[in-house]
Amino acid sequence: MAKNTPYESDRDLFSPNRNISPITSELDKQGRLMIGGCLLSKLAEGYGTPLYVLDEASLRASCIAYRDALKRYYPGSSIPLYASKANSSLVLSKIVADEGFGIDVVSEGELITALRGGVPGAKIVLHGNNKSDKELLMAYENGVTIVLDNHHDINRLAELIPQDKPPAELMLRFTPGIECHTHEYIRTGHIDSKFGFGLEELQEVFIKLKEANWARLNGLHAHIGSQIFELEPHRDLAIVMADVFQMARKLGHPVKDLNVGGGLGIRYVKSDDPPAIDSWIKVISSAVIDAFTSRSIDLPRLICEPGRSLVASAGVTLYKLGARKHIPGLRTYLSVDGGMSDNPRPITYQSLYSACLADCPMGLAEETVTIAGKHCESGDVLLKELSLPYSKNGDVLVVFGTGAYNFSMSSNYNRIPRPAAVIVKDGESELIQQREQPEDLLRYDLLPDRFSR
**Which is the catalytic residue, given 38, 63, 180, 376?**
376
Length of the chain: 453
Contact 103, 259 (CB under 8 A): no
Q: Let me know if 247 is exposed, middle or buried by CB neighbors in 10 A (0-12, 13-18, 19+).
A: middle
R_g of the chain, CA atoms, integer Å: 23
To the query of whether residue 376 is one of the catalytic residues in this protein, the response is yes
Q: Give the Cβ contact number of residue 109 at 10 Å.
A: 12
In whole angstroms, what is the distance from residue 316 CA to residue 14 CA? 19
**Is residue 276 within 8 Å of 12, Cβ to Cβ?**
yes
- Residue 389 carries which side chain, given as an amino acid letter? P
Amino acid, single-letter form, for residue 341: S
Residue 400 phi/psi, 5° resolution?
-90, 160
Output the CA angle 103-108-110, nearest 5 degrees: 35
Q: State how beta strands 420-425 and 331-336 pair.
A: unpaired
Residues annotated catalytic, as ranges: 376
